[in-house]
Amino acid sequence: MMEEQVFGAGGKSRRTRSVWEAMKRGFAGRCPHCGQGRLFRAYLKTVENCDECGEVISHHRADDLPAYLVIVVVGHIVVGGFMGLEAMTDWPSWLHLAIWLPVTLLMSLWLIGPVKGAVVGLQWAQHMHGFGGEPDTAETHPELR
């Protein structure tokens, strides 16, 4: 953990948090603060508080970013794989569908949880959405108006 001081809303001093460490912990499904407690209580439902350190997780706002990131990653892999096989083989369309539809579905379901955890870790490390001790307000977040 870095010890550098930064200033948040209202001029409050706070310590910088390691973005990569927090995202790595979140990707592994662990609390971005301590790395010990569980981040999820169900498939994509985050815990209210970390069981180990007590960090409040419930106010994160991952929203649609994890889904967008999964679409980008899976889309590049599937389209690249499809195009490569299409160039090397003469398979019929039904065979491509039989391969790439399940690959797309399984990869998406497998990646969405870890990616959401990494986004929550990013928000925690950047002191976003209440993770810095300041509540979201209409002044700091116009979308709340």
pLDDT digits (tens, 9 = 90+) for 19-36: 999 999 999 999 999 999
User: Span 54-73, mean pLDDT?
Assistant: 93
Alpha-carbon torsion angle 38, 41, 42, 43, nearest 10: -30
Q: What is the pLDDT of residue 12?
A: 55
104: nearest Cα among 77, 126, 84: 77
Among 44-58, 85-99, 100-114, 131-145, which is the least confidently predicted range? 131-145
What's the rounded mean pLDDT across residues 126-142? Answer: 66
Assess whether pLDDT exceeds 60 at residue 4. Answer: no
Q: Which of 132, 98, 111 is nearest to 43 (CA)?
A: 111
- Indicate if the pLDDT at residue 3 is higher than 50: no
The residue ranges of every structural domain in the chain are 5-136
Residue burial 111-123, b: 16+ Cβ < 10 Å; e: rest: bbbbbbbbbbbbb
Q: Which residue has the higher pLDDT, 58 or 145?
A: 58
| Confidence band of 54 (pLDDT split at 50, 70, 90) | very high
pTM: 0.81
pLDDT band at 133 (very low <50, low <70, confident <90, very high): low
What DSSP string describes 54-114? --B-TT---TTHHHHHHHHHHHHHHHHHHHHHHHH----HHHHHHHHHHHHHHHHHHHHHH
pLDDT higher for 80 or 130?
A: 80
